[in-house]
Structure 1
Amino acid sequence: MQLQCDNRPAWTVQGRPPDLSREFSRKQEALMQARLTTKPEQEVIAGIQALNLESVKLRVMDPELGEGWSREYADSIEIAYKTYLTMLVKYQDDAEDILLAEDVDEFWHTHILQTMKYEDDCHSVFGKFLHHQPHIGELTQADHEKRALLADKTLRLYQQEFGNEQDSNVAWSGVPVRGEKAAVSGVAIRGVNAAVSGVAIRAEGAAVSGVAI
């Protein structure tokens, strides 16, 4: 007695073909979710520049509840914050690698704490919520080495937009003005001057980055 091999595709044995269109749609949806935004770049950038962040500046200028920054310094950090958001949009594939200055991060924190406004701003500009990802735990030697590499990468990206290193540093951290309680602005793009946090682009609950995938 000879055994006959069934060489038919598995789906014919099971009685139904795979839904390739649905599988393709799921993969496309996952890829789109992994992007910071799927809206047209210039539309998003225009939305960033049009953001009204006066309430955020008033908070960071408050000497008791905020940082005690001067109006001039707060204005400069607002510009640097909008520049950071713009860089995330223009370089989406590198978004999680772009470092931000400490005071720009503080401005971002203050924006986030105004929860309803932040959510509305995110959906209005990006079409989705923009997550903030802080570093958890003590910084290791490997962390410091990685941050140094990311600082070099951040500087290169800013120089592509702003030209020389001096202009790039100002765009990154604001004009060289001191607020009463403010960190020195105009600092160079270096790992030691960067916040220990950054943007997290999430798809199905997981950050999409070279490390997290």
Structure 2
Amino acid sequence: MKKILLVLSLVFFAGTAQAYNYPEAIQGYLDVNQQVTYSSTGKTWSRLPQNNAISFTKHMTVGTGGFSEFLNQKKYYDTNTTIEFFDGNKLIGYNQHLLKFFELGFDGNQITRRELTVPEIQKLFPNTEIIKVSDFKNDKITVRKPFFKHKTFLLVNDTDRDFYKYSYEKFGNGTELIKSVIDVKRPRKIVFSHFGSRDELFPTLTIRIRNSIFCKK
């Protein structure tokens, strides 16, 4: 019996030692004071100079929102995103207060945003299971993971709801690059709330994660 328990414990810890491995492009996200160029003819972004391109330098807004701004010739352009990374010659922005991803552009007057579809997001985050806000019932949802293995979920807001200043209660994902990433090693309940509020103005989201023998990955 002791040997069985020992084997099970070794399997458990082997399966929980991992965390989500972000794709290289996301790990190389755009940092403060780094420059990018945007070609209006090719509609492409790059870290390198391009023909007929405008150059931007990334800055962050002063305050608690943590939004990115792009500076060009003493003019600041709002991105309405909180982190940006490249997908080939595309620049993708993520808004942690909306839990949404956008493809960024520039029309000569402002930074433009096109919201990414769920399939597009899935390609950016392989080996994750996307949890859509629209799939919650009464602000609750149950998802499943394999026994003795960690699993990574990605919470994506495909509704008009706003989650400004929301955070996960008693769940330490504060070091994640992307707030939507939920990496779990055991069954648990995760509550996403506005400073712990339980009133109708700031409804919580509750995610119940259960083990399942039918869940293979």
Give the shorter-chain TM-score range: under 0.3
TM-score by length of structure 1 reads: 0.27
Bigger Rg over Cα: 1
Higher helix proportion: 1
Higher strand proportion: 2
Higher relative contact order (CA 8 A, sep 6+): 1
TM-score by length of structure 2 reads: 0.27
